[in-house]
C-alpha cells in the first residue's frame, strides 16, 4: 500500500510471506484448530467467537507484516482483542494488570519503532539494520531498551510476568491453551525479527533468559493451582528460547523449542481443561487419584510431561538437544550449566503435575464417581501426542524446513542426512534407534516379567498398602506430597526466590502514579470553567509553538 497520495511518500505498508512467517502462521493455524475442538463443551457467546477470530486475524497480520508499522498495528489489535476476551472471566484486578502491562508494552514498542524510523525514514524490515546503524549511541540503546521491554512483557520474562500468571489462571479454560501456545510465541517472533534484522544481543538475552527460567521453575514448584503451575512453566520454557536466541547458531534450537512448546502446552492445558471440566476443581490439594477413573487423560498427560521434561524418547529431547549443543558450540558453558540446572529442577513440578492430579489418593468423595473427559478434549490431545511421538522418532523431520528459514535469514544451516538422525555441529543422535531400542527393551522386559510363574495379586482396595502395621481408613491423610517442594524453603538461596516478589515494586509504582494523578486532578478537576480555560491555554501554547 502506498501513502504518497496523502503526502506520506516514504511510508509503505506491505505483507510478505517469508518461510519464518509461514512457520509461525502454521503454529497459529494449528493451535486454532486444536482449540476449536473444545468449543462444543463451553457455552460461549457470539461476541467471544467474533473476538477470537479477530485475535487470530491480528496474529496473522503480525507474522506476515513486512514492516514495523503493520507489525505494530497487528500487535495493538492483538493486545486489545485479548483484553476483551479475558474480560469474560478475569477478576477486575487481574484484568487491570493485563491491560496496563499490555498497553505499556505496545506503547514502548511504538516508541522503539519511531526511534528506528528516525534513522532512514523507513519502517521496512529490510531497512531496519541500516536505520539502526544510522542511529546515535543513545538512540540505539533507547531503541533496544524500549523494544526489549515491550517484548519481555509479552513473554512474561521474570520481572514482567506480574500480569501473566493471573491472566493464565483466570482465563477461560477454552482460551488458556491458545494464550500459552500462541500469544506468547508472538513475543518470540518479535525477538527473532529483532535479533536477526536489527541488532545482535548475545549475552544480554542469554543471561536474562536463564535467570527467567530458573526463577520461574522454582516459582512453579510452589504453586497449588494447576493452571498457575503451568503458567510459570510456560515462562520458564520461553526463557530457554530467549537464552538460545542470544547464541550465534541458536536459531534452529529456538524454532524447534517453539514448535515443541506449542504442542506440549496445548496438550497440557487442554488436558487440565478436561480435568477441570469433569471435576470442577483446579487445585492440587483438591484433586488426586484420578488415574483409573480417567486412564486416557492420564496417558496423554504422561506423554505431555515426558515431552515437557525433555526426556528421550519423545520429541522434547530433540529440542533440548538442539539447545544444549548450540550453547556448547558457542562455548557458553556456564549458561549451559544453568539451563541444565533449571531443566533438572523442572522434574519436581512436572512430577507434581501428574502426581497431584492423577496419582495418590482422591482427596474427597466427589472424585470417586468421575468419568473420562469428553472426546472433544481427547481428540486434540491424541493428535498432539502423536505429533511429539513422531518428532521423537524422526527428530530431523522438520530440519529441512528449518534450513529454509535459516538460509533465508542467512544463518548456518543444520546438517541433515536422514529423518531419524538429528545432528548439530557438536553431536548427533538417532531418534529411531532410541525409540525402537526403548520400545523393544520395554516390551521384552514386560513379556519376561508377565511370563514369570509367580503371580501378582491386584488389590482393589486403595487402603491395602504397607503402612507401618497400621490400617489406614477414610480419615487418614494419605494423599501425601501434593505440596511437594515446600522443604526447599529451608534452603537459603531458593528461599530468596520465594520470599521476593515483584508485587511490592509494582505496588510502589502504582502508589506513586496515584499520588501524581492526585496533583493532576487538582488542576483538571472536572469543573467545566476550569477545563475550558485549560483548553484555551493549551491551544495558545500549541499555536505559539507551531509558529515559532
Partner 1 sequence: MIILDLLGMFTIAYITGFLYYGLYRNITARFQRRFGPPVWQSFFDSIKFFTKNDSTSHGWMFYLGPIIMMSGAIMTLFFIPFFSSGESFVGLSEYGNLFLVLYLLVLGPLGNALGVGTAGNPFGVMGVTRGLSRLFALEMPFYIAVIAIMSLSGSADIGTIASQQTGLNAIAYPLLFIGALFSFIGMMGQSPFDVVGAPVEVYSGPASEFSGKFLALLMSQSAIFTFAKLVLMVHLFLGGASSFAELLIKTFILFVFVIAFGSMYGRFKTPQSIDFLLKVPTLIAVVGLILATWS
> Which run of H or of E encompasses 430?
strand 428-430
Q: Kindly state the smallest distance separating residue 183's Cβ from partner 1, in Å.
A: 29
Q: Where do runs of H (alpha helix) occur along 197-294?
A: 202-222, 226-245, 251-279
Residue 224 in grid coordinates: 497449588
**Alpha-carbon gap, residue 89 to 67, rounded angstroms:** 34
Give the DSSP per-residue string, 87-143: TTT--HHHHHHHHHHHHHHHHHHHHHHHHHHHHHS--BHHHHHHHHHHS-HHHHHHH
DSSP tag of 10: T
CB 32 within 8 A of CB 56: yes
Beta carbon nearer to partner 1, 135 or 434: 434
Beta carbon nearer to partner 1, 134 or 328: 328
Beta carbon nearer to partner 1, 126 or 446: 446
Q: 142 φ, ψ to 5°?
A: -60, -45
Beta carbon nearer to partner 1, 78 or 434: 434
Of 309, 305, 298, 310, give the one whose Cα is nearest residue 360.
Answer: 298
CB 216 within 8 A of CB 232: yes
Give the DSSP per-residue string, 466-526: --TT----TTS---TTTTTTGGGGGSHHHHHHHH--SHHHHHHHHHHHHHHHHHHHHHS-S
Of 226, 315, 225, give the one whose Cα is nearest residue 269.
Answer: 226
Q: Kindly state the smallest distance separating residue 89's Cβ from partner 1, in Å.
A: 32
Q: Kindly state the smallest distance separating residue 189's Cβ from partner 1, in Å.
A: 28
CB 319 within 8 A of CB 253: yes
Beta carbon nearer to partner 1, 38 or 309: 309
Q: Where do runs of H (alpha helix) occur along 137-201?
A: 137-155, 162-170, 176-178, 184-193
Q: Kindly state the smallest distance separating residue 338's Cβ from partner 1, in Å.
A: 10
Q: Kindly state the smallest distance separating residue 425's Cβ from partner 1, in Å.
A: 11
Q: Kindly state the smallest distance separating residue 403's Cβ from partner 1, in Å.
A: 21
Of 263, 268, 288, give the one whose Cα is nearest residue 377.
Answer: 268
Beta carbon nearer to partner 1, 185 or 320: 320
Beta carbon nearer to partner 1, 140 or 485: 485
Q: Kindly state the smallest distance separating residue 335's Cβ from partner 1, in Å.
A: 10
Q: Kindly state the smallest distance separating residue 440's Cβ from partner 1, in Å.
A: 9
| CA-to-CA dists, residue 458 to 122, 125, 169, 289, angstroms | 72, 64, 39, 17
Beta carbon nearer to partner 1, 185 or 479: 479
Beta carbon nearer to partner 1, 49 or 467: 467
Q: Kindly state the smallest distance separating residue 348's Cβ from partner 1, in Å.
A: 5
Find the radius of gyration of the CA atoms of the chain.
26
Beta carbon nearer to partner 1, 72 or 240: 240
Beta carbon nearer to partner 1, 126 or 491: 491
Q: Kindly state the smallest distance separating residue 271's Cβ from partner 1, in Å.
A: 16
Q: Kindly state the smallest distance separating residue 104's Cβ from partner 1, in Å.
A: 34
Q: 451 φ, ψ to 5°?
A: -80, 0
**Alpha-carbon gap, residue 359 to 373, rounded angstroms:** 17
Q: Kindly state the smallest distance separating residue 306's Cβ from partner 1, in Å.
A: 9
Beta carbon nearer to partner 1, 50 or 337: 337
Beta carbon nearer to partner 1, 269 or 324: 324
DSSP lists the bridge partners of residue 428 as 423
Q: Kindly state the smallest distance separating residue 14's Cβ from partner 1, in Å.
A: 43
SS (H, E, C) 390-404: HHHHCHHHHHHHHHH
Q: Kindly state the smallest distance separating residue 436's Cβ from partner 1, in Å.
A: 10
Q: Is 333 helix (H, G, I), strand (E, B) or coil?
A: helix
Residue 25 in grid coordinates: 502462521
Beta carbon nearer to partner 1, 44 or 389: 389
Of 284, 167, 168, 190, give the one whose Cα is nearest residue 245.
Answer: 190
Of 29, 31, 25, 28, give the one whose Cα is nearest residue 380.
Answer: 31
As to burial, measured by CB atoms within 10 angstroms (0-12 exposed, 13-18 middle, 19+ buried), residue 375 is exposed
Cα dihedral angle (37, 39, 42, 45), rounded to 10 degrees?
180
Amino acid at each position: 500500500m502506498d501513502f504518497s497520495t496523502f503526502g506520506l511518500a516514504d511510508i509503505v505498508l506491505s505483507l510478505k510471506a517469508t518461510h519464518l512467517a509461514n512457520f509461525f502462521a502454521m503454529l497459529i493455524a494449528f493451535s486454532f484448530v486444536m482449540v476449536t475442538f473444545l468449543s462444543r463443551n463451553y457455552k460461549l457467546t457470539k461476541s467471544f467467537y467474533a473476538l477470537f477470530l479477530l485475535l487470530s486475524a491480528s496474529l496473522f497480520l503480525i507474522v506476515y507484516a513486512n514492516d514495523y508499522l503493520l507489525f505494530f498495528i497487528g500487535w495493538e489489535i492483538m493486545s486489545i482483542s485479548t483484553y476483551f476476551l479475558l474480560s469474560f472471566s478475569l477478576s477486575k484486578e487481574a484484568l487491570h494488570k493485563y491491560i496496563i502491562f499490555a498497553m505499556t508494552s505496545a506503547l514502548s514498542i511504538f516508541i522503539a519503532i519511531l526511534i528506528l524510523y528516525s534513522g532512514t525514514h523507513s519502517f521496512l524490515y529490510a531497512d531496519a539494520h541500516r536505520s539502526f546503524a544510522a542511529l546515535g549511541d543513545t538512540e540505539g540503546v533507547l531503541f533496544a531498551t524500549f523494544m526489549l521491554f515491550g517484548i519481555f512483557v509479552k513473554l512474561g520474562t521474570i520481572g514482567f510476568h506480574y500480569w501473566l500468571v493471573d491472566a493464565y489462571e483466570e482465563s477461560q479454560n477454552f482460551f488458556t491453551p491458545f494464550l500459552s501456545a500462541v500469544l506468547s510465541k508472538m513475543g518470540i517472533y518479535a525477538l527473532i525479527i529483532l535479533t536477526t534484522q536489527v541488532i545482535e544481543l548475545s549475552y544480554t538475552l542469554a543471561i536474562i533468559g536463564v535467570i527467567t527460567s530458573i526463577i520461574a521453575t522454582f516459582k512453579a514448584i510452589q504453586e497449588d493451582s494447576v493452571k498457575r503451575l503451568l503458567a510459570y512453566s510456560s515462562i520458564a520454557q520461553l526463557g530457554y528460547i530467549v537464552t538460545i536466541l542470544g547464541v550465534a547458531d541458536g536459531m534452529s534450537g529456538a524454532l524447534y523449542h517453539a514448535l515443541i512448546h506449542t504442542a506440549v502446552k496445548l496438550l497440557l492445558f487442554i488436558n487440565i481443561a478436561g480435568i477441570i471440566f469433569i471435576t470442577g476443581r483446579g487445585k492440587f490439594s483438591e484433586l488426586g487419584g484420578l488415574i483409573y477413573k480417567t486412564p486416557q487423560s492420564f496417558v496423554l498427560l504422561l506423554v505431555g510431561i515426558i515431552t515437557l521434561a525433555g526426556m528421550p524418547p519423545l520429541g522434547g529431547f530433540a529440542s533440548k538437544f538442539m539447545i544444549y549443543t548450540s550453547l556448547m558450540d558457542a562455548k557458553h558453558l556456564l549458561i549451559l550449566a544453568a539451563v541444565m540446572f533449571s531443566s533438572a529442577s523442572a522434574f519436581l513440578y512436572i512430577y507434581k503435575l501428574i502426581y497431584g492430579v492423577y496419582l495418590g489418593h482422591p482427596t474427597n468423595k466427589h472424585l470417586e464417581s468421575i468419568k473420562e473427559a469428553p472426546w472433544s478434549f481427547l481428540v486434540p490431545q491424541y493428535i498432539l501426542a502423536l505429533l511429539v511421538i513422531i518428532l521423537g522418532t524422526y527428530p530431523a523431520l522438520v530440519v529441512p524446513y528449518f534450513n529454509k528459514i535459516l538460509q533465508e535469514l542467512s544463518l548456518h544451516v543444520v546438517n541433515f542426512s536422514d529423518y531419524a538422525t538429528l545432528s548439530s555441529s557438536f553431536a548427533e543422535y538417532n531418534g529411531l534407534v532410541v525409540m525402537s531400542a526403548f520400545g523393544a527393551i520395554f516390551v521384552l522386559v514386560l513379556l519376561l516379567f508377565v511370563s514369570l510363574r509367580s503371580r501378582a495379586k491386584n488389590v482393589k482396595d486403595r487402603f491395602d498398602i504397607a503402612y507401618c502395621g497400621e490400617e489406614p481408613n477414610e480419615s487418614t491423610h494419605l494423599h501425601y506430597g501434593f505440596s511437594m517442594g515446600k522443604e526447599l524453603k529451608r534452603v537459603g538461596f531458593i528461599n530468596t526466590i520465594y520470599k521476593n516478589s515483584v508485587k511490592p515494586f509494582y505496588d510502589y509504582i502504582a502508589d506513586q502514579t496515584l499520588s501524581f494523578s492526585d496533583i493532576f486532578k487538582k488542576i483538571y478537576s472536572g469543573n467545566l470553567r476550569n477545563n475550558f480555560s485549560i483548553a484555551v491555554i493549551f491551544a495558545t501554547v500549541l499555536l505559539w509553538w507551531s509558529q515559532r
